[in-house]
Amino acid sequence: MKTRAAVAFEAKKPLEIVELDLEGPKQGEVLVEIMATGICHTDAYTLDGLDSEGLFPSVLGHEGAGIVREVGAGVTYVKPGDHVIPLYTPECRQCKSCLSGKTNLCTAIRATQGKGLMPDGTSRLSYKGQPIFHYMGCSTFSNFTVLPEIAVAKIRTDAPFKTACYCGCGVTTGVGAVVNTAKVEPGANVVVFGLGGIGLNVIQGARLVGADKIIGVDLNNDKKEWGEKFGMTHFVNPKEIDGDIVAHLVELTGGGADYTFDCTGNTMVMRQALEACHRGWGVSVVIGVAEAGKEISTRPFQLVTGRVWKGSAFGGARGRTDTPKIVDWYMDGKIQIDPMITHTLTLEEINKGFDLMHEGKSIRSVVVY
Ligand code: NAD
Ligand code: AHE
Ligand code: ZN
C-alpha cells in the first residue's frame, strides 16, 4: 500500500513529505493507521545528526497513537479496530529482561530496532524502490506503519488520539521516572532541570505523589509559568542567580534534594543534578539523551557520600502493561495533557514543529493526520 510520510532523507535537512510504499504486516506484525503523533526532542536530536544510532533515509517519530487496520499471521494481542500506542520500548514478556521484573528494557527486538529494521532484518518502508529505515521501531511520522505485535499497547477507545499520543513518550517518560524509577515519596524535595515536554511531566508526577518542594530549573524564563501550571513551587534560572547553581539549590532544599531529574540532555547539567542531591541519600535520575560522544563525570566522592546516579528510559514503564494505565490516569483526571499540547499541525507543517521546539516556543507540537 501507499502511505504519506515525512521522510528524513539526510541529517540536518528538513523532513520531506512524500508518498512511500509500505509492505503489509508479516507474521507477528500489525498495520497501524497513525492518527496523531507528537514531536519529541529525541526526534530533533536524531534529525540533527547527534544520535549514534541515527540512520538515513528514515521515517522518524515515536510518540504516536492510532488504530490497528490489519494483523499478520499469529497475532493474538490485538485485532483490527483496536486503538494502540506504538512502543519504542516493547514488552515481549518472555525475554530475560522482561522476566527479570527488574527493568522495562525488553531485549527481544532491540538489536534490529537499533538498525532501523523489523525483527526479520528487513524494512517495510520504501521510496522509489529503495528501502527507508524505520526509527525506534515506530516511525510515527508516517500515516500508516507496521509494528511488531509486542510493540503496541492497547488503549481504551474513548481517549482522544491527539492527546493520548503523548503517552507514547513524553508523559509516560516524565511521570514514570518519578513513580517507577525514582519512586519519589510524599514530602520529598525534588529538583527538575529542563522544563520542556519531559520536565513538565516530571513536575506533574512529583505533584501526583505528594512531593513537598518541586523546584524547576530552566534557562528560559517563560518556563516559570509553565512549571507552575503543573505543580512547580520554585523556579530557578541559573543565569539569574548569584554564584553557583548547585550551592543555590542545596541551600534552597535545606542541604540538597531528595531527588533530581535531568531533562535537558546536557552532560554539565547532569553533573549539577547529581551534585545538588542530599549527601547520604539523594538520587539523581538522568532522563535527557546526550549527543554522541558526550560523557558524564563527577568526583567519586559524590557517590561515596551516598548520592545515587540512575537513568530512566520510557519512565521505567513496561510498554504494554503500564502505558494503558497512564492513559487511564489522564482520562480519570489524575494527570493533565491537554494544556501541554501547544501546537496542532498537519503533516505538511511538521518542520514548523521542530522550529518551535528549537525556539523554545512549544511544549508539545502534535501532528494530526
Ligand atoms: P524540550 O526541548 O521540550 O525541553 C528541553 C528544556 O530544557 C527546555 O525548556 C530548555 O529551555 C531546557 N534547557 C536546555 N538547556 C538547559 C540548561 N543548560 N539548563 C536548564 N535548562 C535547559 O525537550 P523534551 O522533549 O522535554 O526532551 C528533554 C530531553 O529528554 C531530551 O534530551 C530528550 O531527548 C530526552 N528524552 C528522554 C527520554 C527517555 O526515555 N530517557 C524520553 C523522551 C525524551
Ligand atoms: N540511540 C541513542 C540513545 C537514545 C535513547 O537513549 N533513547 C531512549 C528513549 S528517548 C525517547 O525520546 C531510550 O529508551 N533508550 C533505551 C534504548 O534501548 O534505546 C544512542 O545513544 O545510541
Ligand atoms: Zn521521545
What pLDDT is stored for residue 248 in this prediction?
Answer: 98
Ligand 1 atom showing the smallest separation from residue 41 Cα: 25
User: What value does the mean pLDDT take over residues 322-343?
Assistant: 98
Q: How confident is the model at residue 366 (pLDDT cuts 50, 70, 90)?
A: very high
Spell out where 220-267 has E strands.
Answer: 234-236, 259-262
Distance of CA 144 to the CA centre of its chain: 21
Q: Kindly state the DSSP code that residue 184 receives in the 8-state scheme.
A: P
What pLDDT is stored for residue 163 in this prediction?
Answer: 98
pLDDT of 338-350, one tens digit each?
Answer: 999 999 999 999 9
What pLDDT is stored for residue 98 in this prediction?
Answer: 98
| Of residues 306, 9, 36, the one with CA closest to residue 168 | 36
pLDDT of 87-101, one tens digit each?
Answer: 999 999 999 999 999
Q: Among 272, 287, 296, which is best to mutate for testing ligand 1, by the most ligand atoms less than 8 A from CB?
A: 287
Amino acid identity, residue 281?
A: W
Q: Among 63, 289, 365, which is best to mutate for testing ligand 1, by the most ligand atoms less than 8 A from CB?
A: 289
CA distance linking residue 232 with residue 116, whole number of Å? 38
CA distance linking residue 102 with residue 114, whole number of Å? 22
Residues across the chain: 369
In the chain, what is the greatest distance between 2 CA atoms, to the nearest angstrom?
Answer: 63
What pLDDT is stored for residue 320 in this prediction?
Answer: 98
- Residue 314 grid coordinates: 520510557
Ligand 2 atom showing the smallest separation from residue 136 Cα: 19
Ligand 1 atom showing the smallest separation from residue 223 Cα: 9
3-class secondary-structure state, position 237: coil
Residue 85 bridge partners (DSSP)? 153
Ion ligand 3: residues, CB within 5 A, are: 40, 42, 169
Would you state the torsion angle of the CA atoms of residues 13, 15, 17, 21, taken in this order, to the nearest 10 degrees?
Answer: 100
Q: How confident is the model at residue 334 (pLDDT cuts 50, 70, 90)?
A: very high
Q: Which residues are catalytic?
A: 40-42, 62-63, 92, 95, 98, 106, 110, 169, 364
pLDDT of 245-277, one tens digit each?
Answer: 999 999 999 999 999 999 999 999 999 999 999
CA distance linking residue 314 with residue 306, whole number of Å? 26
Q: Ligand 2 mean position to 286 CA, how many Å?
A: 12
**Residues in contact with ligand 1 (CB, 6 Å cut-off):** 40-42, 45, 169, 173, 193-199, 217-220, 223, 263-266, 269, 287-289, 312-314, 357, 360
3-class secondary-structure state, position 216: strand
What pLDDT is stored for residue 159 in this prediction?
Answer: 98
CATH topology of domain 174-313: Rossmann fold (3.40.50)
β-pairing, 214-217 with 234-236? parallel
Kindly list the distances between the CA atom of residue 366 and the CA atoms of 62, 149, 193, 354, in Å, as whole numbers in the listed order. 12, 24, 23, 11
Ligand 2 atom showing the smallest separation from residue 63 Cα: 12
At what angle are helices 267-275 and 245-252 packed, to 10 degrees?
A: 40
DSSP 73-141: TT--S--TT-EEEE-SS---S-SHHHHHTS-S---SSHHHHHTT--TTS--SEEETTEEEB-STTT-TT
pTM of the model: 0.98
| Of residues 141, 177, 202, the one with CA closest to residue 335 | 202
Ligand nearest to the CA of 174: 1
Kindly list the distances between the CA atom of residue 360 and the CA atoms of 218, 244, 292, in Å, as whole numbers in the listed order. 11, 24, 22
Ligand nearest to the CA of 365: 1
Contact criterion met (CB below 8 Å) for 238 and 221: no
| Of residues 135, 52, 170, 148, the one with CA closest to residue 95 | 148
**Residues in contact with ligand 2 (CB, 6 Å cut-off):** 40, 42, 51-53, 89, 105, 110, 169, 289, 313-314
Tell me the percentage of the chain whose pLDDT exceeds 90.
Answer: 100
CATH topology of domain 2-168+337-368: Quinone Oxidoreductase; Chain A, domain 1 (3.90.180)
86 preceded by cis ω (within 30°)?
no
Tell me the percentage of the chain whose pLDDT exceeds 70.
Answer: 100
3-class secondary-structure state, position 166: helix
Q: Kindly state the DSSP code that residue 177 receives in the 8-state scheme.
A: I
**Residue owning the nearest CA to atom 12 of ligand 1:** 194
Q: How confident is the model at residue 321 (pLDDT cuts 50, 70, 90)?
A: very high
The average confidence (pLDDT) of the chain is: 98
User: What value does the mean pLDDT take over residues 219-224?
Assistant: 98
Q: Ligand 2 mean position to 148 CA, how many Å?
A: 18
| Of residues 198, 24, 7, the one with CA closest to residue 124 | 24
Residue 192 bridge partners (DSSP)? 216, 261
- Residue 82 grid coordinates: 483496536
What pLDDT is stored for residue 157 in this prediction?
Answer: 98
pLDDT of 136-185, one tens digit each?
Answer: 999 999 999 999 999 999 999 999 999 999 999 999 999 999 999 999 99
Q: Where are the domains of the chain?
A: 2-168+337-368, 174-313
